Structure 1
Amino acid sequence: MLSQEVPFPRKAGQSSNDSVGPVLPPAMENVRSYTADEVVQMLNRTPLFMTTLDETDGEGGENIELAALRALAYDGTRAEIAGNFREQGNEQARIKRWKDAKEFYDKALAALKAPQQDDPEPGEDAVELDEEEEAKKEKVIEEASYVNRALCNLELRNYRSCNLDCAATLRLNISNVKAWYRSASACLALDRIPEAEDACNRGLEVDSENDSLRSLSTKIKMRKQSLENLELRRQAREARQRLEEATLAAALKRRGIRCRTTDKAPDAGDAIVKLADPVDADSTLFVPVVLLYSAHLHSDFIKAFDETQKLNDHLEYIFPLPWDEASEYTVAGVECYMETIAGGLIKAGKKLPLSKILVSGKVEIVDGLVKVHVLPKSRVAEWIEEYKLKRGKT
């Protein structure tokens, strides 16, 4: 059965043709003249319906209802006020709203440190507080607030704050198993294994059958073993690296090859001076070599030039050069030069093994690279003159 539309009671002077809406309860008749948005704003200033915090009455004054509720939250003894905040924190923690829960525990602890309100004037209904009993209640609430805030900090990954809250808890009650568990968990998260072990073991001394602590103890042992294995592998890598560096240094010294580094070393990636067998100084040496076509401002990079190879061995597969339109670069038509230790130039034989050139005592490996200038024979004299001028030599 369809319900009939019930019109608004008409106001004085309102005709039957005027638009009407649904009948409102008498208590809400005063909102008839407001728009929907204005009604929503009014509701948002009522604590029960608030979706955002509005501390005004809509006209620049104080929101009396909100102020009353706030005052009510701080009405009572310190234990009552702190207990109320703790319970609200517990409710937020149960639904895993850790940040909100932490804020309530903050308020609970702050309430316990606040000065006690003055006693009311004596009267028929006045009740004298038992200070000893109140102190016991406050201690229970303080311990619970600290250890629960530790849980919030643990879940929020505020591990240092978690440990501080656990320490505060244990100063109140050395046998608080939750504090030992949460402190051990925070230390484990930070890979502070000795501290995690200590906290877990001390918790087990209190409750040796605690399943959570026993499980955590297993995790700590596993992580400890994992970290020890990682450390052993790191030490082995470092020892291997030291051995390889010492072997390479011995190989270069044995061959009479000089090396030098500067503060402007280029980034050659993984191209380095190395031995075929990194721990055998007599194995073949490989050197990164840059071929500089200085007359045309081009270059080629040979990542691993075998010390037994000759320059011709590489020029044969590199030539012809794609940009050499005049065909000036041929194996027979070029000469190679290297800069000497003294800053001059030396002609590098194309048919000599690289080791023979490097052990001459006149050249060196600079920043892990050997540079070879490759020039067409027709341009050599001109280029040498330019080189001397740049070097300030005539």
Structure 2
Amino acid sequence: MVSISDTESAEAAASSALEREIDKVVKAGKGWKEGEREAYLKRVREEDHPMFAESIDEMDPGVVKAFQDLTYEDETPLSLGEHFKQLGNDRFKRGKKNAMYFRHAQQAYTEGLRNVRLGEETPELTAMAVALLSNRAMANLALKNYGSCRKDCDEALALSPGHLKCLYRKAKAELMLRRHGEALAVCEEGLKIDSSNTELLKIKKECGRALKAAEDATAALNREKEERLERLAAVWDECEAAGVKLGPSGFDESNHEQRNAFLPMADDEGGVIWPVLLLYPQYGQSDLIQAFRDADMLAEHLAAAFPEEGPPAPWDTSFEYRCSELVIYLPLRPVEPSPSVFDWVAEFEKMEAAKVSGEEEMNRRSKERAAAAAAAAARPQRWARVHPGCTLLRILSFEDHVVAGATPTLLLFPKDGQSHKDFLRDSGGRIVTLDP
């Protein structure tokens, strides 16, 4: 049996033998300058010397380049381009089983291009550059680097207009980027060269479907917009005739989609059907009555929402909210009235545009609305205590009230509750009475 001490002795002997051999070689060398012999020995004995490296990653980049230069020193830019093209093709084939090789293929094509561009421009080198660019576009397409794929194709097509493979790969990249119009244009260019190219015909068909769907969606949005404008204009006319003043929304757009799902509409029998928001400040709760005719009496809806015998709302743990025990308040002039139907409707269009434009525009609009709300809050708010026997039209046409946005808002409190007492204290007596 071999002991640990025997193994250590063998390793020490081998190391000593290596030192003796190195020393012999160095002593045989000619022309050593002062200090050079010791510096060389120090480098050879280091663990990270190239001769001891197990992979290229462990070697100094400068040393790697030197070895590569030695490896390819008899090659030409054209032969190197061909070498790396074949290497890339081999790696790309392997990528079908392991996607990591697509990256290796891309790197090989890039190295081939680097070498090709070192040579003087010739037709052969140009053709090789086109092939490498086209193949790198193929690798980028497999890696889903669609922007890089387009760039490679554009560069190749500048050198070789009408290159069908590049046209196909560019069209595919445009399609994946959902640039359907651009993809269709590339397909048309390629089909002028080969009208039966199945790959281009397939992409053209996909683009046609996508563009048609986009056109249909745009047309539907335009129809919806026209219907909304007509609906709001009809509401404005009814309100103007009844003395109801309309203004911009007093809210930000953070929950715009939910609130704007129910817009007022002119009633076929005359008047307006409104969405009405009921707020319960005591609990931070709210309800939206979706269809409140302006001829309806407020008490009718309150009786349905808060019956005397219950059951109470889930948040009304003390069963304080009974129709006969409630007091109702209307905010007076929470916003300034819109001067015209165009200004009023424009508010809704801005909200729709902000929603389509995305989060950044919505945030900008919210900040604008918050600033306006802060300015309004700085003014002392006045209120009207509403008799439940009032119709909605009576409430909305009250001389100093403006409907904010398109949703009338009412505050409700239990008459003898602490929340009502707090509200009366905070209002500073700025309350008037609104009777039927």
Q: TM-score, normalised by structure 1?
A: 0.68
Paired residue for 1:71?
A: 70
More displaced stretch, 177-186 vs 305-314? 305-314
Mapped to 2, the partners of 1:227 and 1:205 lie a distance apart of 26
Structure 2 matches for 1:242-281, cutoff 5 A? 242-261=229-248, 264-265=251-252, 270-271=258-259, 274=262
Contact 1:287 1:303 in 2 (8 A): yes
Paired residue for 1:95?
A: 94
More displaced stretch, 272-281 vs 369-378? 272-281
SS at match of 1:250: helix
Shift, 1:55, TM fit: 0.5
Mapped to 1, the partners of 2:147 and 2:167 lie a distance apart of 14
Identity of matched residues, %:
17
Paired residue for 2:277?
A: 289
Mapped to 2, the partners of 1:291 and 1:81 lie a distance apart of 77
Mapped to 2, the partners of 1:65 and 1:110 lie a distance apart of 17
Mapped to 2, the partners of 1:392 and 1:350 lie a distance apart of 16
Mapped to 2, the partners of 1:344 and 1:140 lie a distance apart of 81
Tell me the C-alpha RMSD between the 2 structures. Answer: 4.4
Runs (5+) with no aligned partner, structure 1:
1-6, 9-16, 22-28, 34-40, 57-61, 117-133
Contact 1:45 1:54 in 2 (8 A): no
SS at match of 2:401: coil
**Residue 332 to residue 266, structure 1, CA distance change in 2 (3 Å):** farther
Task: Indicate whether 1:306 and 2:306 are aligned.
Answer: no
SS at match of 2:296: coil
Task: Indicate whether 1:356 and 2:406 are aligned.
Answer: no
Paired residue for 1:111?
A: 115
Paired residue for 2:83?
A: 84
Mapped to 2, the partners of 1:347 and 1:153 lie a distance apart of 69
Contact 2:175 2:203 in 1 (8 A): no
Paired residue for 1:214?
A: 201
Paired residue for 2:226?
A: 239
Shift, 1:392, TM fit: 12
Mapped to 1, the partners of 2:264 and 2:250 lie a distance apart of 28
State the Cα deviation string for residues 209-244 of structure 1 (Å, max 9, x = none).
333233333333333333332332333333333333
SS at match of 2:204: helix
AA aligned opposite 1:81? L
AA aligned opposite 1:90? N
Shift, 1:323, TM fit: 4.2
State the Cα deviation string for residues 75-104 of structure 1 (Å, max 9, x = none).
421112222222211111222332221111
**Residue 203 to residue 279, structure 1, CA distance change in 2 (3 Å):** farther
Mapped to 2, the partners of 1:109 and 1:30 lie a distance apart of 47
More displaced stretch, 138-147 vs 189-198? 189-198
Mapped to 2, the partners of 1:381 and 1:192 lie a distance apart of 59
Shift, 1:309, TM fit: 3.1
AA aligned opposite 2:286? F
Contact 1:287 1:306 in 2 (8 A): yes
Task: Indicate whether 1:224 and 2:263 are aligned.
Answer: no
Contact 2:250 2:404 in 1 (8 A): no
Contact 1:274 1:285 in 2 (8 A): no
Mapped to 2, the partners of 1:267 and 1:201 lie a distance apart of 44
Shift, 1:202, TM fit: 2.5
Mapped to 2, the partners of 1:265 and 1:63 lie a distance apart of 61
Mapped to 2, the partners of 1:262 and 1:75 lie a distance apart of 78
Task: Indicate whether 1:338 and 2:323 are aligned.
Answer: no
SS at match of 1:352: coil
Contact 2:174 2:180 in 1 (8 A): yes
More displaced stretch, 244-253 vs 79-88? 244-253
**Residue 65 to residue 196, structure 1, CA distance change in 2 (3 Å):** closer
Shift, 1:111, TM fit: 1.0
Larger Rg: 1
State the Cα deviation string for residues 186-227 of structure 1 (Å, max 9, x = none).
222233334323322322232333332333333333333333
Runs (5+) with no aligned partner, structure 2:
8-12, 18-46, 96-100, 335-380
Q: 2:428 aligns with which of 379, 389, 392?
A: 389
Q: 1:154 aligns with which of 141, 149, 162?
A: 141
SS at match of 2:400: coil
Q: 2:168 aligns with which of 181, 186, 199?
A: 181
SS at match of 1:95: helix
Q: 1:370 aligns with which of 404, 409, 429?
A: 409
Mapped to 2, the partners of 1:19 and 1:63 lie a distance apart of 40
AA aligned opposite 2:83? N
SS at match of 2:275: strand
Mapped to 1, the partners of 2:110 and 2:163 lie a distance apart of 20
Higher helix share: 2
Mapped to 2, the partners of 1:251 and 1:189 lie a distance apart of 50
